[in-house]
Structure 1
Amino acid sequence: MTDQIPAGESPLGSLACPEPEDRPDLWPTTARRTDDGELVLGGLTVSEILAEAPSPVFVLDEADLRGRAASWAAAMHEEFWPSYGMAGGEAFYAGKAFLTTKVAQWVLEEGMGIDTASRGELAVSLAALQEVDGEEATTDATRLGLHGNGKTQAEIAVALTHHVGHLVLDSLEEVDLAVRAVRELRASGVYGPEETGKVMVRLTTGVHAGGHEYISTGHEDQKFGLSVHGGAARRTIDAIIAAPELELHGLHSHIGSQILDLAGFREAVGIVLTLRHEVAVDTGHLCPEVDLGGGYGIAYTGADPVPPSQAQVARTLAEAVRETCERLGDEVPTVSIEPGRAVAGPTTVTLYTVTGLKRVELEEGASRLYVSIDGGMSDNIRPALYEAAYTALVANRRPDPQAGLVRSRVVGKHCESGDVVVRDVDLPADLAVGDVLAVPATGAYGRSMASNYNLFTRPGVRWVREGESGWVLRPETIEDLLRLEG
């Protein structure tokens, strides 16, 4: 069957999706096959899940998500433990990966904070915080953060009102907006007459790390942050220190996404802490906290390396912080990070039903099987947006090993030629309409970036745990789409 492979592509079989026992890092921790070959997630077979939640559907392993959140929190607490000469470490879940009140409650209960990037994400996180820690916690929401470029004064004021732990300013203009917001909060009596707003500054360090250009955020030519090397960061820091309404609480750095090599983080630590030192020498203000952002990668296919563990990440950062502060002669700061994809990504599998098969003849006798499914780019835009690679596994049965494999492309049903969910995968040659495909590692930026393109309804998210299940988000209906009509 090798003559069916398009020229220049990998040998047949090399692009087959690994089974859960072969690459457990690709799958939720409870994923396995039954003796009959059916995929099990959270103690439920695929057929049991689909009986209650028709495809396409995101299936989220609650125990796996809780476990990953707890591991990130524990790793930071352990490696930055004050008894080790450190000043404490925290992990904030990057809510942009996937956020609902239920997910927010889970990560808060497991010891993480939540980093938000919009007023909506902040509102959801505040609602979850109230459920977990009580209403009084929402007036001193140190476990939450708000960042992002282009924030309005109203958004900044909401964060200041709730005393979020990380209010990350992204421009000199946002400093002015924060000053005005504090003045209005003082005038209204929400703040005391001398109370200040704690803020952080987002830096661009020039360190370029991660995958696609659109998700590499530490380099200079992009919309986020303030340049360390160009001087914009220092000018903004000086403006904050000079403002009696504000208190510079810390420095924030985010160098990219889907990062599997930790060397870039070590480099960024040196740049951030050197700036912190220079500010202290010049002004006497030593920032008590440094947020080193997120971007920690995961595996999406069998070709991807196994990513660093939570402990490896925390240990690498702790060593870099300790060594740099010793060299500079500074006290170590409290250190926080913002994993999102690395918490949510592997916990979720999208189940699709095969709706059509079309073999396309290519040059020199090669061919490709186009596999149509009942979802597409409206529930996973990342392949079209970032050229992100995914893989797929037949989930409702164990394929006949004698049938062989065929080079395939899994495509959605949208009116776009770029509507591809899995660009290249070796699927069983006995694949049939009605089979169920499982696409792993869709927990981050799948449902959160979903759209209603072609007026598709967005799929639901179903939690599974120990043989039970329920909705995290119910699937949209046509009535939901019509409800917004004017």
Structure 2
Amino acid sequence: MYLHGTSKINSRGHLEIGGCDVTDLAKEFGTPLYIVDEVLVRRRAREFMDAFRSTGLRHQVAYASKAFCVMAMCRIAEEEGMSLDVVSDGELYTALQAGFPAERIHFHGNNKTPDEILMALDANIGCFVVDNFIELQLLNALAGEKGKRVNVLLRITPGVEAHTHEYISTGQQDSKFGFDLGNGTAFRAVETALAQPNLKLLGVHSHIGSQIFEVEGFRMAVEKVAAFAIEVRDRLSETFAVINLGGGFGIRYVEGDTPLPVGQYVHAIADAIQSSCAAANYPLPEIWIEPGRSIVGDAGTTLYTVGTSKDIPGVRKYIAVDGGMTDNPRPALYESKYDAILANRADDPLVETVSVAGKACESGDMLIWDLNLPKVESGDLLAVFCTGAYNYAMASNYNRIRRPAVVFVKDGKADLVVARESHRDIVGNDIIPERLKKQAVTQ
């Protein structure tokens, strides 16, 4: 059994996270429940910050808020000295409501709307990561209307295919994101950006994918981006002040996952950029990266209550929990794997193999296949590990199931940071037209 961060099995045989017995958390907050180990979140953030400081390079480490965006998480990111990536007006609004410094916010996205751009301009965010020619023209026009000149990075696709699932691989040529490096589009984008009076081109951004366990893809991306920067300098006499190499650093979800120490990723990137720049006498740019999953992923645990079960002799035993694809769609989306234990009987011997089904009305609502557990009983608590990234962020109200609460745990104290949705929340935006309203029956 592999336990992350402050997680341990206490003297009662219960899972404990951040000094809090999860059985007590279930009684206080109900299930399903997202539990976030604050100590581990901060530890992961500091690993990146410390690793970059050790390289001596100018840098920004921006938390990719799409992984898990709530106001409390934005506060932690600021306290740890990080910048912040957002990809929508909702994430931007969350960050601003949390008091995150606007000048440290970077706005990504392949289809920013005019309203989103205007909102970001009014907030005076630090940088736009521009994805296409339409956005270049639109951003320049809107910035001009506001009397502003704004910082931009150009997102480029370097043609590096990371070893990851096709749905979360983004650096290859055939991608919805960015200006293509191989066919000359990226160079035309630089020329276009430089010609816009209301845009200040800082440099370029690339991202090769997610859940990456090796450094070679990052090295290749650095070499291609650096070669492009050198070409721009030689042909246009323009040097990039910033090179953003994205995120994608993997975490350990299950046995067999082999993420590298954070420092190994960072130093591979630093070594590659330093050698590429030195060889071409190119001034060292500031390096930005965007970890998201690797900050919050293994710090999250989802706690469920077991309900029904179905035993098919000679085939499979299913157990059903009170959540599922509505709070964790990743197994259904791209066959993601998770590990779990019975949180209230963690010391009991493993005696049966079960598959964990969710409660949504979908055959594909399966969280874990073939999990070894003690004899499972209705009412047991199942803790699924490493659910801190892209679980709450991607949760839905399918079947009108309410989204769970979120608690941060630290030093034996649990703080509610997102309240459980109520039935009133579920219908809060519904409107019944007058013609459909139930009429009083007259006698």
Match of 1:77 among 35, 53, 64: 53
Number of paired residues? 431
Q: Which residue of 2 aligns with 1:369?
A: 317
Structure 1 counterpart of 2:416: 471
CA distance in 2, matches of 1:112, 1:120: 20
8 A Cα contact 2:34 2:301, kept in partner: yes
Distance 2:184 2:2 in 1: 50
Q: Is it true that 1:460 corresponds to 2:405 in the alignment? A: yes
Q: Tell me how large the CA RMSD over aligned residues is.
A: 1.4
Corresponding position: 1:270 with 2:223: yes
Confirm or deny: 8 A CA contact 2:164 2:211 kept in the other structure.
Answer: yes
Q: What secondary structure does 1:71 align onto? A: helix
- TM-score w.r.t. the length of structure 1 is 0.86
State the Cα distance separating 1:313 from its structure 2 match: 1.5
Residue 319 of structure 1 corresponds to which residue in structure 2?
A: 271
The 8 Å contact of residues 262 and 316 in structure 1, kept in 2 or not, is answered as yes
Residue in structure 2 matching 1:252, options 181, 187, 205: 205
| Pair 1:166–1:245, CA change in 2 (3 A) | closer
- The structural deviation recorded for 1:270 is 0.6
Task: Tell me the CA shift for residue 268 of structure 1.
Answer: 0.2
Deviation, 1:36, is 2.5
Alignment-derived partner of residue 173 in structure 2: 220
Asked if 1:233 is matched to 2:189, the reply is no
Correspondence list, 1:185-224, <5 A: 185-186=146-147, 191=148, 196-224=149-177
- Pairing partner for 2:283 from 302, 310, 331: 331
User: Is 1:354 matched with 2:306?
Assistant: yes
Could you tell me whether the CA contact under 8 Å between 1:210 and 1:295 is conserved in 2?
no
C-alpha distance in 2 between matches for 1:163 and 1:318? 30
What amino acid sits opposite 2:331 in the alignment? Answer: P
- 1:421 pairs with one of 354, 367, 371: 367
SS at match of 2:421: coil
- Structure 1 pair 126/77, CA: closer, same or farther in 2 (3 Å)? farther
Question: 1:214, 1:386 within 8 Å by CA — same for their partners in 2?
Answer: yes
Which one of the candidate residues 97, 108, 125 is aligned to 1:164?
125
1:113 aligned onto 2:59: no
CA drift at 1:399? 4.6
Q: Which amino acid aligns with 2:402?
A: T
Aligned 8 A contact 2:23 2:343 in 1: no
1:385 alignment partner in structure 2? 333
Match of 1:450 among 375, 395, 398: 395
The 3-state SS of whatever aligns with 1:407 is strand
**2:31 is matched with which residue: 55, 76, 80?**
55
Sequence identity, in percent?
39
Partner secondary structure for residue 16 of structure 2? strand
- Whichever residue aligns with residue 81 of structure 2, its letter is G
Letter of the 1:409 counterpart: S
Counterparts of 1:47 and 1:246, CA distance in 2: 54
- CA distance 1:238–1:415, shift in 2 (3 Å): same
| Cα deviation, residue 244, structure 1 | 2.0
CA displacement, residues 336-378 of structure 1 (integer Å, 9 cap, x when unaligned): 10000000101110001110221223xxxx4321111111100
Structure 1 spans left out of the alignment, 5+ residues = 1-17, 21-26, 131-136
Q: Deviations over 1:263-322 (max 9, x none)?
A: 1000000111111111111111101000000111111112322x1122112111100101
Deviation by residue 1:133-166 (Cα, 9 ceiling, x = unmatched): xxxx44xx1x110011011233223333433233
Question: Which 5+ residue runs of structure 2 have no aligned equivalent?
Answer: 432-443
Residue 51 of structure 1 aligns with an amino acid whose one-letter code is: K
**Aligned-partner residue type, residue 332 of structure 1:** L
* 1:291 correspondence with 2:244: yes
Instruction: Look up the SS of the partner of 2:49 in the other structure.
Output: helix
Partner amino acid, structure 2, of 1:171: N
Give the deviation of 1:220 after TM superposition.
1.4
Q: 1:310 aligns with which of 248, 262, 267?
A: 262
What code does the residue aligned with 1:146 have? F
Residue type of the alignment partner of 2:280 = L
Matched to 1:93, the amino acid is: Y
User: 3-state DSSP class of the match of 1:114?
Assistant: strand
The answer (yes or no) to whether the contact 1:70–1:107 under 8 Å persists in 2 is: no
Q: Is the contact between residue 152 and residue 177 of structure 1 (CA under 8 Å) also seen in structure 2?
A: no
